[in-house]
Amino acid sequence: MKDPTNTENISIVIRHVNNGHATEDLLTLATSEKLDARSLTNKLIEAIEKDGLTTDQILSQCYDGASVMSGKRGRVQKLMSDAAKGPIPYFHCFSHQLH
């Protein structure tokens, strides 16, 4: 979502298991001037690595239905799998599904 300065704001949330319980934590609020798949993927990887994690620890990915995020060819979903050097299943965000 763009703010009044016309900058795109990106919330990056991770879900992990902690003592047997699924937990979601806000990793960071990032900004991006570009909204292409490569720029967004780089922002995600940067945030993950800054927190001491690596892409090979990702078990799945979840985004809204925007084609730049969920497309199977050259989109964030594919680029994240490439960065992890293996397939990472994609799930459509439940909060963004139309009923």
- Among 46, 54, 52, which Cα is nearest to 12's? 46
Q: Where are the beta strands (DSSP E) in the chain?
A: 8-18, 21-32, 61-63, 90-92
Instruction: Delineate the domains of the chain, giving CATH numbers in brackets.
Output: 8-96 (3.30.420)
pLDDT at position 94 is: 66
Q: Record the pTM.
A: 0.80
What local confidence, expressed as pLDDT, does residue 43 receive? Answer: 92
Which ranges of the chain have pLDDT less than 70?
Answer: 1-2, 65, 67, 70-72, 94-99
Q: State the pLDDT at residue 26.
A: 93
